[in-house]
Structure formats: structure tokens, C-alpha cells
Amino acid sequence: MTMPVVSEKERKPLISLKGMIKVYGAGQATMQALRGINVDIDEGEFVAVMGPSGSGKSTCMNILGCLDTPTSGSYCFKGLNVGNLSRVYRTRLRRFYFGFVFQGYDLLSRTTALENVELPLIYRKEPSKARRAKARKALEIVGLKGWEKHTPGELSGGQQQRVAIARAIVTEPTVLFADEPTGNLDSARSREIMDLLTGLNRDKGVTIVMVTHETDMAAYAKRVVHFVDGLVSSDETCGR
């Protein structure tokens, strides 16, 4: 857990993006997905990132989660310039600070819910007993007690997404990145997932960055950032 320590006195935002640019492709076929994004996110916030498809919201989230690298611009996490970090250190950020929930759930197939949730803990070298206990607890939090032995193929979409959320929160991450977490679910299931996320944000203080294109879902967030054509078009904090 050797992360460079930053002094607590400077009240810096948890996440700070400045002039973030991401270009896909090369030569004539280049596509600018992000054209200079400036966003600050504080610890404990619940931010919804909205925008039409192709506006760069997912790209931005992937860069925030260190799943992708920007073409230029600076990204500071806890005051630490992520752009200067090596692959190994960016992996450590993911391992110890980030959790991910994707639209397609992205669980390991033919693997039980419990083993899926255990996976991040294996990489964190948790001893097997503690690992299993934590994974069971996480599944209980998302309301899947008794479903530990089921594989993704035996679970519904909503249940799979809850397993994914359990896998993301089992490590007690600082930030939870959710890319269209309700994209594949009906409205009732979506509300369950959103209640779960708001609960995590409220009770455990997990910072949540959620990409969505549904206004209903964005309404759960305290702050909504709108993307249009790779730029931030509006940034509103609602008084909920």
C-alpha cells in the first residue's frame, strides 16, 4: 500500500481534471472524444455524468478509473498526479481506491457469485477466511444472501448487477465508478440498484461517479454534470 501520502491540511478535491483531452485513432481518422474537460469532485459526492451517446462521458469515466489513459491534460487523485504514474501504480489505485460497476455486469462466467465477489480480495492478498466472510457480507448488503453458490448464468440481470456492486464494494473503495449501471434493467430493478447506490453514498460515504443517459436515474445524484461533444455543458448541484 505504498501510495505517496498527501498532507490533509490542503483541502484539495478528491478528483481534479484539468484540460483533459482524449483522441482516438491516428492520422486523418482521428476522433476527439474529450476536448478539454475541467471537473473537480470532492470526497463523498454522488455525481451523475449525463449526455448523449458519443459525448465522451464513458471515456471520461474510464480515464478517472485508470482503465484508460488520456492523450493530454492533468488528472489528480488525492492531489497525486495520475498522469505521472506507472502502470503498476495505476493498478494499485484501482486495487485499493476504486470500484467498478459496468452496464454489462462483466462478471466471470461459470463462477459462483461468492467467488466473483472474492476476486478483488484475492488480489489484495486477504487470507481466505476473512476473504470469504467479507464477500458474504457484501452479498448480504446487496440483498443476495442465499445466492452465494449461483453462477451468473443462474441469476437475473438485476441480481447480476447486484453481484457486480458487491464485488465493487467488498474492498470498501474510496470511489465507485458506475457506467450505466441500470442500462440493461427495467425501471423497478433500476430503482433497487439506485437505492443501493444512494445508500452506500449516504451511509458509507463512498464517492460515486455514475454515467447515465436517463434523467430518472440522474435524479438520485446530488450533482449532475452534462457532457456535450467532449465538453462539459452544465454542472448543477441540486439541493437534495
Partner 1 sequence: MFWNMLLLALREIKRNVLRSVLTTIGIVIGVAAVITMVTIGGGATKQIKQMIEGLGSNLVVISPGKRMGPGQSTDVIPFSLADVEAIYRDINAVAAVSPVSTISFKAIFSNQNWTTQVTGTDNQYFNVTNRTIKSGRLFNESELRIGSSVCIIGETVRQKLFGGQVALGEHIRLQKLNCEIIGILDEKGQNTMGMDQDDMVVIPIITYQRRIAGNLYISLIQVSVQNGASTEKVQRDITHLMREQRHLSDSDDDNFTVTDMKEIARMLTSTTKMLTGLLSAVAAVSLLVGGVGIMNIMLVSVTERTREIGIRLAIGAYELEVLMQFLVEAVALSSLGGLIGIFLAIGASIFLSGVLRVPFIFNANIVGVAFLFSAVIGVIFGYFPALKAARMTPIDALRHE
Residue 92 engages partner 1 in binding (rule: CB under 8 A): yes
Q: Which of 75, 102, 220, 227 binds partner 1 (CB under 8 A)?
A: 102
Q: Is 200 left (phi over 0), alpha (psi -120 to 50) or beta?
A: alpha
CA distance 75 to 196: 29
**Is residue 176 within 8 Å of 209, Cβ to Cβ?**
yes
CA distance 48 to 56: 14
Least separation in angstroms between CB 66 and partner 1: 8
Q: Which of 69, 72, 156, 215 binds partner 1 (CB under 8 A)?
A: 69
**Burial of 203 by CB count in 10 Å (0-12 exposed, 13-18 middle, 19+ buried)?**
exposed
CA distance 220 to 46: 8
Among 98-106, 141-149, 153-161, 220-228, the segment contacting partner 1 (CB under 8 A): 98-106
What x-and-dash track marks residues 110-139 binding partner 1 by CB under 8 A? Answer: xx---x---xx-xxxx--------------
Residue with smaller CB distance to partner 1, 206 or 224? 206
Short-list 74, 77, 111, CA closest to 94: 77
Q: Which of 6, 108, 219, 238 binds partner 1 (CB under 8 A)?
A: 108
Contact positions toward partner 1, by CB under 8 A?
A: 62, 65-69, 87-88, 91-92, 94-96, 98, 100, 102, 106-111, 115, 119-120, 122-125, 167, 171
